[in-house]
């Protein structure tokens, strides 16, 4: 790997410096955090790289609003953080252990995963299920937005001139489970799913479901979330949900899997994720 | 641009291209144990330790090691004085063509620093990103478990 044509590498000391460096390159500069994604980029137009990992955005902290994950916190740092481990019954740990392998997680950052937003990636599927919010800054100021909403905008353009500062995970009532299926343990997903449930008096009081790598990026299934509320968790319910997901989910074909395969397997993954989430929520 | 870093315990002050990979830099410096299998993060043959933690040198921009410690297999052992992990790989028969071996050993080294008593499953989980086209992995896992046993017996730290 070599990004040809790059002449300078900068270490931004804070976000303002990063933004002014970027604007000085007039479109021929790029931010990088871990750099594992940028390193695979075919771009030949770049002249300057602006490293964000020294800009004070690697924090992990909790307050009344939830868990704040700084954009340049690495996946390994999140995996080993006690606060992140406790969040929502340990779902960050459960999911991030499925992302690539230790050597990648030592470099790859959460912010890099949010911005690169690969449709096959597990992290967007997880974060939309967790109602994640993002905070970013550009010349006009700071903006907070739900991640699901961000992904409906032209977010790649936004991040050509903005620094992602953090991902905020709000306190959630439920317990979560994540399912990923690839060709082997180290593969990227052919399909992934995240489920969250909260129970009250033996009935589902709150539900979250997202499915990704369809091959489109992970999105929630609001119709299923609504339908689940009020139901009693049972094997029969999960079988019914499996059938409904198979009938209704929007999936497609790409060179890795066919639409028919994804339709069949989406039902199974959602069933498994729901059954495990219900087990953790305490049926 | 010039960067300063420590390679296998020795200081280096070298010229790098801003967009160059650590893999390319290390090979220029003669570290031929660091191999380019894929160049895209899929295979693990380019693994090195950065501040003691495994990273993919093919996906690491060279300027990133400024001021840091880098370890390659050359820094772990030599032909005359192999590291216990290298001896374990020979003893268990875990080397065939050998292309994957440096990456396997460095990754295993990092695992055993974190967890000196891994289960076979934990070894497999940690090595999941290191591909081997020859051995079928069984003997590689055996070798790591053997080196772990030697480590617990105090033969190395
Ligand atoms: C081999 C491999 C396997 C992978 N497997 C998985 C997997 O199994 N599951 C999964 O979910 N993901 C997987 N990924 C994706 C991985 O999670 C992301 O590539 C990684 O998190 C990117 O982080 P980074 O810090 O290295 O990004 P970088 O390469 O530094 O940046 C990526 C992009 O985001 C921009 N950027 C980075 N940080 C910011 C910021 N703070 N503000 C604005 N822009 C920013 C950069 O300009 C660049 O365009 C895999 C990636 C690789 C290379
Ligand atoms: S050459 Fe780096 S992972 Fe294959
Ligand atoms: S021994 Fe040949 S690739 Fe592993």
pLDDT in tens, A192-244: 999 999 999 999 999 999 999 999 999 999 999 999 999 999 999 999 999 99
Q: Is the pLDDT of residue A1 over 80?
A: no
Q: Is the pLDDT of residue A140 over 60?
A: yes
Distance in Å from the first CA to the final CA of chain A: 51
Average pLDDT of chain A, as a whole number: 96
Q: List CB contacts (< 8 A) between A4 and chain B.
A: 19
Q: What average pLDDT score do residues B20-45 get?
A: 97
pLDDT at residue A2, as a whole number = 79
- The CA distance from A230 to the nearest CA of chain B, in Å, is 39
| Contact indicator for A105, A75 with CB cutoff of 8 Å | yes
Please give the interface size between A and B, counted as residue pairs whose CB atoms are below 8 Å apart. Answer: 98
Q: Which CATH superfamily is domain B84-152 in?
A: [2Fe-2S]-binding domain (1.10.150.120)
Can you give the pTM of this predicted structure?
A: 0.97
Tell if the CB–CB gap between A51 and B56 is shorter than 8 Å: no
Q: How far apart are CA B82 and CA A238, in angstroms?
A: 55
pLDDT at residue A49, as a whole number = 98
Q: How far apart are CA B57 and CA B68, in angstroms?
A: 14
Residue A135 has phi, psi (to 5 degrees) of -125, 125
With pLDDT > 70 as the criterion, what percentage of chain A qualifies? Answer: 99
Residue bearing tokens 């992302």: A99
Q: What six digits make up the tokens of B50?
A: 């950065």
Residues with CB under 6 A from ligand 1: A 30-38, 52, 71, 99-100, 104, 107-109, 111-113, 115-116, 118, 121-123, 159, 163-164, 188; B 41-42
Tell if the CB–CB gap between B61 and A32 is shorter than 8 Å: yes
| Contact indicator for B48, B59 with CB cutoff of 8 Å | no
Q: How far apart are CA A119 and CA A114, in angstroms?
A: 11
Rg of chain B (C-alpha set): 15
Q: Which of A64, A276, A62, A58 has the alpha carbon at shortest distance from A180?
A: A276
The CA A25 to ligand 2 mean position distance, Å, reads 30
The CA B25 to ligand 3 mean position distance, Å, reads 24
The CA B101 to ligand 2 mean position distance, Å, reads 13
pLDDT band with cut points at 50, 70 and 90 for residue B72: very high
Q: List CB contacts (< 8 A) between A46 and chain B.
A: 19
A183 touches chain B (CB under 8 A): no
Kindly state if the Cβ of B46 falls inside 6 Å of ligand 2: yes
Q: Is the pLDDT of residue A283 over 60?
A: no
- Cite the residue boundaries of each domain of chain B with CATH code 3.10.20.30: 2-72
| Contact indicator for A3, A43 with CB cutoff of 8 Å | yes
The CA B104 to ligand 3 mean position distance, Å, reads 10
Helix ranges (H only) for B29-137 are 84-92, 101-114, 120-126
Kindly state if the Cβ of B43 falls inside 6 Å of ligand 2: yes
pLDDT band with cut points at 50, 70 and 90 for residue B9: very high
Atom of ligand 1 nearest to the CA of B42: 1
A37-46, A72-81, A103-112, A258-267: segment of lowest average pLDDT: A37-46
Q: Is the pLDDT of residue A74 over 70?
A: yes
pLDDT at residue B19, as a whole number = 96
**ipTM for this prediction:** 0.97
Tell if the CB–CB gap between A101 and B128 is shorter than 8 Å: yes
DSSP one-letter code for B65: G
pLDDT at residue A3, as a whole number = 86
Q: Is the pLDDT of residue A165 over 60?
A: yes
Tell if the CB–CB gap between A185 and B21 is shorter than 8 Å: no
Q: How far apart are CA A10 and CA B101, in angstroms?
A: 35
> DSSP letters of A118-152?
-TT-HHHHHHHHTT-EEEEEETTEEEEEEHHHHHH
Question: Mutation test of the interface with chain A: which of B17, B59, B131, choosing the one with the most A Cβ atoms within 10 A?
Answer: B59
Q: How far apart are CA A189 and CA A98, in angstroms?
A: 10
What distances in angstroms separate CA B144 from CA B47, B55, B94, B112, B149, one per listed residue? Answer: 16, 19, 9, 8, 9
Neighbours of A180 (CB within 10 A): 23
Nearest CA to ligand 3 atom 3: B132
pLDDT at residue A26, as a whole number = 94
| Contact indicator for B63, A9 with CB cutoff of 8 Å | yes
Across the interface, which of A4, A46, A185 has its CB nearest the CB of B128?
A185
CA angle A240, A216, A49 (to 5 degrees): 145
- Tell me the fold of B2-72: Ubiquitin-like (UB roll) (3.10.20)
pLDDT at residue A4, as a whole number = 85
**B95: preceding bond cis by omega (within 30 degrees):** no
Q: How many helices (H) and strands (E) does chain B have?
A: 5, 5
Q: List CB contacts (< 8 A) between A76 and chain B.
A: 53
Q: Is the pLDDT of residue B76 over 70?
A: yes
Across the interface, which of B19, B50, B56 has its CB nearest the CB of A4?
B19
Q: How far apart are CA A67 and CA A83, in angstroms?
A: 8
* DSSP E strand boundaries for B40-90: 47-50, 53-56, 69-71
Tell if the CB–CB gap between A186 and B126 is shorter than 8 Å: no
Which residues lie below 8 Å from residue A72, measured CB to CB, with a gap of 6+? A33, A52, A53, A55, A57, A58, A109, A111
Q: What average pLDDT score do residues B130-156 get?
A: 97
């Amino acid at each position: 790997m070599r990004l040809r044509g790059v002449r300078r590498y900068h270490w931004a000391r804070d976000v303002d410096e990063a933004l002014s460096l970027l604007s000085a390159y007039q479109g021929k500069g790029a931010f990088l955090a871990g750099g594992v994604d940028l390193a695979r980029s075919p771009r030949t137009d770049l002249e300057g790289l602006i490293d964000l990992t020294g800009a004070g955005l690697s924090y992990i902290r909790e307050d009344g609003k939830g868990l704040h994950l700084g954009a340049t916190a690495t996946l390994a740092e999140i995996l080993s953080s006690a606060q992140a481990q406790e969040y929502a019954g340990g779902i960050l740990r459960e999911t991030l252990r499925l992302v690539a392998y230790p050597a990648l997680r030592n470099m790859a950052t959460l912010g890099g995963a949010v911005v690169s937003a690969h449709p096959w990636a597990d992290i967007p599927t997880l974060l939309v299920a967790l109602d994640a919010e993002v905070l970013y800054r550009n010349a006009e100021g700071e903006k907070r937005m739900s991640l699901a909403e961000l992904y409906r905008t032209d977010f790649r353009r936004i991040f050509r001139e903005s620094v992602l500062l953090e991902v905020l995970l709000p306190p959630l009532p439920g317990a979560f489970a994540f399912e990923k299926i690839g060709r082997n343990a180290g593969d990227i997903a052919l399909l992934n799913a995240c489920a969250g449930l909260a129970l009250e008096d033996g009935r589902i009081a709150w539900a979250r479901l997202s499915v990704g790598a369809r091959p489109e990026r992970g999105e929630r299934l609001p119709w299923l979330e609504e339908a689940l509320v009020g139901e009693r968790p049972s094997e029969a319910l999960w079988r019914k949900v499996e059938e409904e997901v198979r009938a209704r989910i929007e999936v497609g074909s790409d060179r890795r899997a066919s639409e028919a395969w994804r339709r069949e397997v989406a039902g199974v993954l959602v069933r498994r994720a729901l059954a495990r989430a219900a087990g953790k929520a305490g049926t | 641009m010039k960067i300063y870093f420590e390679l296998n315990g020795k200081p280096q002050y070298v010229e790098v291209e801003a967009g160059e990979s650590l893999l390319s830099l290390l090979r220029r410096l003669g570290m031929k144990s660091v191999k380019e299998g894929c160049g895209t993060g899929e295979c693990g043959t380019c693994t090195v330790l950065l501040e003691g933690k495994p990273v993919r040198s093919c996906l690491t921009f060279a300027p990133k090691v400024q001021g840091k410690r880098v370890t390659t297999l050359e820094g772990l052992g030599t032909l005359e004085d192999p590291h216990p992990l290298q001896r374990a790989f020979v003893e268990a028969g875990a080397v065939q063509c050998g292309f994957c071996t440096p990456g396997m050993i460095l990754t295993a080294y990092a695992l055993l620093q974190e967890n000196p008593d891994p289960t076979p499953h934990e070894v497999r989980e940690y090595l999941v990103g290191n591909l081997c086209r020859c051995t079928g992995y069984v003997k590689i896992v055996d070798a790591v478990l053997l080196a772990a046993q030697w480590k617990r017996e105090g033969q190395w730290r």
